[in-house]
């Protein structure tokens, strides 16, 4: 008999590579026993029979079948997910030992092997494509086999010896159907806490510093892309800082939703084949080790049949992305020019902007943020569709949801930090904004409380037609004294609330 087995060299993340296949020459004797002596492979077994796997691979037959079944994209689960999966497996072993269900020799070996998964030293053995079985069963099995084989090695056994069994020991009290969604939640919580929130807080701080620095700079406000009443450059940056701050608040709501996990529901939410205390104890153990809170859901049937918490979290991530688009886009437009645009600020010059135009500098950091936004919005669409993949007792689009939501968290974290470090920190104000504000036609708004809206509008229109300022036209068309005009057209007062300092509140 013959079959084909794929080499296990893992493609670079995100890179599509063809799996290189080589022929398997398993020879069976008359009793049906394997007689293969081909070097660099060993025989592993699962419930479907024998499979050749690379001799030094920690995974087994079931993982090998999945390698062959899903040569789709070269995309792999990210480090943060593998770490979370290791944390769940380690916590489960500790719980099963404490409940007297798993002997300490095997249990401690599992705990040690799982720690290596958590630390990342076994990542090369997690070889499966994102586009696989919809429950993530292949990846759960991958983890079970890797941990079981490594634990067997720790106990002095050979690979494939099954001194520690992947199902009976490593997967005790669990199902892919509750382990995978739990691991996705945990991975998202870890990435949000350790990466995204710190990056957004850093961005908020740097934007806040610029708000203070730019507070004295009064410039023309803009609504509908047209001139509006004066605003402080610092007030604009205060708005940007506020968006970053509110993004962190939104994430805290998402963290509450993600904290409820499916672990303990096993196959369909009933908890069959697991101890009643398994989930609560394991969640407590994982929380203590990971530093993020997870807790058993109060309704296992919704937790395994839906991805509602992930859809909610993805929506929050999309909102954050849109906030970052607003900030990055406004900053690049405020800096446009430097001579034929607005030119009210200058951005750090980080690289040449053109291969043909010498001296051109582009807002490349802002542009990178905006491209991240596009990716995150697309990822949200994928997560939304994955959320629709809940059929009866199980959602079967978990791997692609995991990939997209974890990528969104990572991209937002790295781009927010890079934007703050490479762009925001180095922004400086120019004199263009203050020079232009006195020429603004919307200064006529400040005249309205004194002479009425219609008269102020007529002055603005005539000033526009004649190319003069509001102040000059008001001197000609009204009886207001210079002192009264100075008071009404005080630019700094017009950036504050109050009648006589910009007129009554109204639409833009």
User: 227: which DSSP letter?
Assistant: E
Q: Residue 315 and residue 304: Cα distance in Å, rounded?
A: 20
Q: Residue written as tokens 């470090």?
A: 421
468 φ, ψ (degrees, to nearest 5)? -105, 180
Cβ-in-10-Å burial (0-12, 13-18, 19+) of 338 comes to middle
**Interhelix angle 308-334/233-259, nearest 10 degrees:** 170
Helix, coil or strand: residue 94: helix
What is the CB neighbour count within 10 angstroms for residue 401?
28
CA dist 308 and 258 (Å) reads 10
What is the Cα–Cα distance from 135 to 393, expressed in whole angstroms? Answer: 11
d(CA 86, CA 119): 9
Residue 410 CA: distances (Å) to CA of 81, 248, 309, 318, 368: 12, 15, 18, 13, 14
- Residue 26 C-beta-side C-alpha neighbours within 13 Å: 18
Which residue is it, tokens 């007689």? 35
380/265 Cα distance (integer angstroms): 27
Asked if omega into 216 is within 30° of 0 (cis), the reply is: no
Q: How far apart are the first and last CA of the chain?
A: 78
Beta bridge partners of residue 261, listed in sequence order: 296
Neighbours of 11 (CB within 10 A): 16
Q: Scanning the structure block, which residue is given the tokens 């949000």?
A: 192
Residue 260 · residue 303 · CB < 8 Å: yes
Angstrom CA distances, 329 to 7, 214, 364, 406, 428, stand at 46, 18, 11, 25, 17
Q: Name the DSSP class of 337.
A: -
Q: Which of 168, 140, 165, 144 is nearest to 155 (CA)?
A: 165
**Catalytic (active-site) positions:** 224, 354
């Amino acid at each position: 008999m013959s079959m084909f087995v794929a080499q296990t060299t893992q493609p670079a993340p995100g890179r599509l590579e063809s799996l290189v296949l080589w022929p398997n020459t398993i020879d069976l004797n008359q009793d049906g026993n394997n007689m293969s002596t081909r070097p660099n492979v060993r025989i592993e077994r699962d419930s479907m029979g024998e499979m050749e796997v690379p001799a030094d691979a920690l995974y087994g037959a079931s993982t090998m079948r999945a390698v062959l079944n899903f040569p789709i994209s070269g995309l792999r689960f990210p480090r943060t997910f593998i770490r979370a999966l290791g944390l769940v497996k380690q916590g489960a072993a500790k719980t099963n030992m404490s409940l007297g269900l798993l002997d300490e020799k095997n249990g401690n070996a599992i705990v040690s092997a799982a720690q290596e998964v958590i630390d990342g030293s076994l990542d090369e053995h997690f070889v499966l494509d994102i586009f696989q079985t919809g429950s993530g069963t292949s990846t759960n099995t991958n983890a079970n086999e890797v941990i079981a084989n490594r634990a067997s090695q720790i106990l002095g056994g050979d690979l494939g010896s099954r001194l520690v069994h992947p199902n009976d020991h490593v997967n005790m009290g669990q199902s892919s159907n509750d382990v995978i969604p739990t691991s996705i939640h945990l991975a998202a919580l870890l990435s949000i806490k350790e990466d995204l929130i710190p990056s957004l807080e850093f961005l908020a701080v740097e934007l806040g510093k610029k708000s203070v620095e730019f507070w004295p700079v009064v410039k023309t406000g803009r609504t509908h892309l047209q001139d509006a009443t004066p605003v402080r450059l610092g007030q604009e940056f205060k708005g940007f800082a506020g968006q970053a701050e509110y993004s962190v608040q939104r994430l805290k709501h998402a963290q509450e939703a993600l904290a409820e996990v499916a672990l303990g529901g096993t196959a369909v939410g009933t908890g069959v084949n697991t101890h009643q205390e398994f989930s609560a104890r394991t969640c407590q153990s994982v929380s203590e080790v990971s530093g993020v809170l997870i807790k058993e859901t109060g309704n296992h049937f919704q937790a395994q049949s839906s991805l509602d918490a992930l859809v909610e979290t993805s929506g929050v991530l999309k909102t954050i992305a849109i906030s970052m688009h607003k900030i990055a886009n406004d900053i690049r437009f405020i800096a446009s020019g430097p001579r034929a645009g607005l030119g009210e600020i200058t951005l750090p010059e980080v690289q040449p902007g053109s291969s043909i135009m010498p001296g051109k500098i582009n807002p490349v950091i802002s542009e990178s943020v905006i491209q991240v936004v596009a990716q995150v919005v697309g990822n949200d669409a994928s997560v939304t569709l994955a959320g629709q993949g809940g059929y009866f007792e199980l959602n079967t689009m978990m791997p692609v949801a995991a990939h997209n939501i974890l990528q969104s968290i990572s991209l937002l974290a790295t781009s927010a930090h890079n934007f703050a470090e490479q762009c925001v920190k180095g922004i400086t104000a120019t004199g263009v904004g203050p020079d232009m504000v006195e020429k603004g036609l919307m200064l006529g708004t400040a005249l309205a409380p004194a002479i009425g809206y219609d008269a102020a509008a007529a002055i603005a229109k005539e000033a526009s037609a004649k190319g003069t300022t509001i102040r000059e036209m008001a001197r000609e068309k009204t009886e207001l004294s210079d002192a009264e005009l100075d008071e009404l057209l005080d630019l700094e007062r017009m950036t504050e609330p109050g009648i006589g300092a910009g007129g009554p509140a109204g639409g833009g």
